[in-house]
Amino acid sequence: MIYTVTFNPAIDYVVHTDAMQVGMVNRSRTEEIYYGGKGINVSMVLKELGLESRALGFVAGFTGAAIEKGVQAKGIATDFVHLQEGFSRINVKIKSGEETELNGQGPVIGAEAVTELFRKLDKLRDGDTIVLAGSIPSTMPSDTYEKILAHLKGKQIRTVVDATKDLLKNVLQYQPFLIKPNHYELGELFGVTLHSHSEIEAYARKLQEMGARNVLVSMAEQGALLLDEAGICHICGVCQGTVKNSVGAGDSMLAGFLAGLETGDYTDALKLGTAAGGATTFSEGLAERAEIDRLLLQL
């Protein structure tokens, strides 16, 4: 089983308007609602690719109930911790030529709720995969990722971390199976700006030396690079299409990569991850199977 963890899930309310005027009444042209958060995005795309997963995390209030119901309606199993106070956040994304976002804070997550999450993690068994994606809410301890990996140490569980800066660097001591920075985030970790494939590969190897087993780097228009646990570097080109969406592409790549590992080798996984990321980029919402399959033919 693949488990995804979303500490601060959200309802994403997407509004399309012809013109956005600050200080005036603006009317939408079209609207969409998505149930989001990086871990939930991974679960959604895994479902499109035929893989089951279980979504973990924290939900609260009427918005939390809507998120849970919406995720379950997509055929995804959930095991959320239900908070007694507050409400899960609503993120407003206004698309009017440029994209403007207003993201909510989310509920307070106390020590008892964190303890309950760890009890749920005790259900993981050898051979399972856990995906930790995104930032940690300010109300939670900043070393929560480290504590989770330490809690699971000793079990044969594939740990996947998609995070940035110290949040990522501090988990490397636990030898995660896979980490997924983009090229900008990779450079940020070392205080450098990366341009070429050779530079990106060199710094990916530094992360491997620090403990990561596999390093998957998305490189925007340059495609994607994978440094696998055998030290082999794989590079995949980028898919061609019209960019419509900036949300969830990295999560989709991660889902596609994990799905590809179920039936193929690292090369196959990298291609499927690239196609899934592109399918989200070229869609209004998250990637759908038909578009993933179409883009896969380009690679």
By three-state DSSP, how is residue 78 classified? Answer: strand
Specify the pairing of strand 178-179 against strand 224-227: unpaired
Q: How far is CA 51 from the centre of its chain?
A: 16
CB 7 within 8 Å of CB 141: no
The pair of structure tokens assigned to 273 is 């991850």
| Contact call for residues 93 and 101 (beta carbons, < 8 A) | yes
Please tell me which residue in 12, 251, 265, 268 is annotated as part of the active site.
251
Q: Give the residue among 134, 74, 75, 103 at the shortest CA–CA distance from 13.
A: 103
CB contact at 8 A, 61 and 43: no
Q: How far is CA 175 from the centre of its chain?
A: 19
Known catalytic residue at 251: yes
Residues 6+ apart with CB under 8 A from 78: 54, 55, 56, 68, 71, 72
Q: Is 77 helix (H, G, I), strand (E, B) or coil?
A: strand
Q: How many C-beta atoms lie closer than 10 Å to residue 88's C-beta?
A: 27
CA atoms of 203 and 216, how far apart (whole Å): 12
Query: Are 91 and 104 within 8 A, CB to CB?
Result: yes
- Catalytic site residues? 251
